Amino acid sequence: MNAAARVLRYSTWDGLFVCLSFVHLAVLVAAPSIAVIAIGQWWNANTIAHNFIHRPFFRSSSVNRLYSAFLTLLLGFPQTLWRARHLLHHAGLPGVTSGNVGTERRARLTAPMAIEAAIVAALWITIGVAAPQFFLFVYVPGWLIGLGLCQLQGHFEHAHGTTSHYGRVYNLIFFNDGFHVEHHRRPAAHWTELPRLTQPISHRSRWPPVLRWLDAFSLAGLERVVLRSAALQRWVIGVHERAVRRVLGDANDVRRALVVGGGLFPRTALVLRRVNPATDVTIVDIDEANLAAATPFLPPGVHVQHAAFDPAEAADTDLLVIPLAFVGSRRAIYDRPPARRVIVHDWIWNAPASASSTSVIVSWLLLKRLTLITSSAR
Segments making up each domain of the chain, as ranges: 3-213, 222-374
C-alpha distances (whole Å) from 55 to each of 8, 150, 177, 191 are 11, 20, 14, 10
Instruction: Work out the angle between the directed axes of helices 34-46 and 14-30 (0-180°, nearest 10).
Output: 170
Give the per-residue pLDDT at 47: 96
- Per-residue tens of pLDDT for the chain, all 378 residues: 566 777 888 888 999 999 999 999 999 999 999 999 999 999 999 999 999 999 999 999 999 999 999 999 999 999 999 898 888 888 764 433 333 333 344 567 888 899 999 999 999 999 999 999 999 999 999 999 999 999 999 999 988 789 999 999 999 999 999 999 999 999 989 999 999 998 877 788 888 999 888 776 677 777 888 888 899 999 999 999 999 999 888 777 888 999 998 778 898 999 999 999 888 999 998 888 888 888 899 988 899 998 888 888 888 898 999 988 887 777 888 888 888 889 998 888 877 666 567 888 998 888 888 899 887 654
Does 3.40.50.150 match the CATH number of domain 222-374? Answer: yes
Secondary structure tally for the chain: helices H, strands E: 16, 7
Q: Are 92 and 51 in contact (CB under 8 A)?
A: no
- Overall pTM > 0.75: no
Residue 56 is classified by DSSP as -
Three-point CA angle 315, 320, 321, nearest 5°: 160
Q: Choose among 329, 358, 328: nearest CA to 342.
A: 358
pLDDT at 365: 84
Q: What are phi and psi of 351, to 5 degrees?
A: -125, 95
**Spatial separation of the C-alpha atoms in residues 151 and 158, rounded to whole Å:** 11
Element (H, E) at 256: strand 256-260
pLDDT for 161 equals 82
Q: pLDDT at position 106, please?
A: 58
Nearest to 279 by CA among 236, 221, 224, 343: 343
pLDDT at position 107, please?
60
Residues 243 and 368: their CA atoms lie apart, in Å, by 10
Alpha-carbon gap, residue 206 to 9, rounded angstroms: 34
pLDDT of residue 97: 31
